[in-house]
Amino acid sequence: MLRILGKASSINVRKVLWTCAELTLPFELEEWGSGFKSTDTPAFLALNPNAMVPMHSIPPRREPGPGSINGLTGRHRT
């Protein structure tokens, strides 16, 4: 699931939220920025050294197992 870091009142964060909604992408919003968690913390700076929102985080992709569909081509992995 896509993790979006920012605040919904930010126009740039809203653009990301709208895009996710239009594409029906599952996401979770974590409130960061003015009035919420500070973007100057070491935890946020480790993700984005510029301390700017929106920031997104995608979990690492797992390698598909045997017999699973490979990408969007519909071909089976050999």
Q: Supply the pLDDT for residue 58.
A: 77
pTM of the model: 0.69
Q: Record the tokens describing residue 22, joined without a space.
A: 């239009």
Q: What are phi and psi of 56, to 5 degrees?
A: -125, 155
Task: Please state, in angstroms and rounded to a whole number, the distance separating the CA atoms of residues 33 and 7.
Answer: 6
pLDDT in tens, 19-42: 999 999 999 999 999 999 999 999
Summarised one tens digit per residue, pLDDT across range 57-78 is: 877 776 666 655 555 555 544 4
The pLDDT, as a whole number, for residue 55 is 87
**Looking at residue 36, what DSSP letter applies?**
S
**Cα gap 38→24, rounded to integer Å:** 29
Neighbours of 17 (CB within 10 A): 17
Alpha-carbon span 8 to 42, nearest angstrom: 22
